[in-house]
Amino acid sequence: MASVAFLGLGVMGYPMAGHLKNKGGHDVTVYNRTRAKAEQWVTKHGGSLAATPAQAAEGKDFVFSCVGNDDDLRSVTTGPEGAFKAMKKGSVFIDNTTASAEVARELAEAARSSGFSFLDAPVSGGQAGAENGVLTVMVGGDQAAFDSARPIIDAYARMVGLMGPVGAGQLTKMINQITIAGLVQGLAEGIHFGKKAGLDIEKVIEVISKGAAGSWQMENRHKTMNAGKYDFGFAVDWMRKDLGICLAEADRNGASLPVTALVDQFYKDVQAMGGKRWDTSSLLARLEK
């Protein structure tokens, strides 16, 4: 059993922290910006509640975070009451936020200078993956820190991989989001085309999903897309945030992402339609408006 803190109890962090407590059997202290959410978590799972990130991190072997963006991450780490002020030497900070590779490197240097380790460890699998404890975790950092943290991370993960030095986890997550954006747009166009052609979409998917066109998105989203229901996963607002990170990194490294840039604009259209909290498969709604 390890002494663990978890900062950020959103739709992902709440169940992830629960798996650390219940499946992992660890001693977990939680912090959330909205205190009521942390109180709810402690009532459900046990463990302890902290008033600040620093209080949560004090004396812990491992500290996890899963917050909204780079600024939120800086706030809970190096902010006035941030966790980095209380991290003990030899401990490990594991960040599950989807953020920039730049902020990962910045925080890793701050951690190193204070005698503890930092891993950027964004996740894929959405809310369902978090709730079921089957997330994919893409990690950047030192081998020794990864080896010590992996048994703890396993409580909420199906796949955990060390992708390279600090920042490599975030870069891998960018590839994940780039790939998903293209897949969902292709699926949306295919379903849209099939409807216009008068085909039975269920019959079409039953056949093509067993061939080269098959994908997780097709298997798990075609029914709800065909029914015009878009409340089953990762929100458009968050996808636009992630694609913005991808496009900014591409500007830095010289990568060409024409399809990603185009799909990002399509998601902007979905936001304008009132779909900010719809899931990413709502690209079909844009085609059908």
Catalytic residue among 173, 223, 229, 268: 173
Question: Pseudo-torsion of CA 215, 238, 185, 249, nearest 10°?
Answer: -100
pLDDT of residue 233: 82
pLDDT of residue 16: 98
pLDDT of residue 42: 98
Per residue of the chain (289 residues), what is the pLDDT tens digit?
A: 899 999 999 999 999 999 999 999 999 999 999 999 999 999 999 999 999 999 999 999 999 999 999 999 999 999 999 999 999 999 999 999 999 999 999 999 999 999 999 999 999 999 999 999 999 999 999 999 999 999 999 999 999 999 999 999 999 999 999 999 999 999 999 999 999 999 999 999 999 999 999 999 999 999 999 999 999 889 999 999 999 999 999 999 999 999 999 999 999 999 999 999 999 999 999 999 8
pLDDT of residue 96: 98
Cβ atoms within 10 Å, residue 37: 16
pLDDT of residue 247: 98
CB 208 within 8 Å of CB 255: no
What whole-number distance in Å separates Cα of residue 288 and Cα of residue 58? 52
Q: Is 173 known to be catalytic?
A: yes
Of 200, 224, 213, which is closest to residue 284 (Cα–Cα)? 224
What are the phi and psi torsion angles at 28 (to 5°)?
A: -115, 130
pLDDT of residue 97: 98
CB 101 within 8 Å of CB 171: yes
The 3-class secondary structure across the chain, one letter per residue, is CCEEEEECCCCCHHHHHHHHHHCCCCEEEEECCCHHHHHHHHHHHCCEECCCHHHHHCCCCEEEECCCCHHHHHHHHCCCCCHHHCCCCCCEEEECCCCCHHHHHHHHHHHHHCCCEEEECCEECHHHHHHHCCEEEEEECCHHHHHHHHHHHHHHEEEEEEEECCCHHHHHHHHHHHHHHHHHHHHHHHHHHHHHCCCCHHHHHHHHCCCCCCCHHHHHHHHHHHCCCCCCCCEHHHHHHHHHHHHHHHHHHCCCCHHHHHHHHHHHHHHHCCCCCCEHHHHHHHHHC
pLDDT of residue 99: 98
pLDDT of residue 1: 87
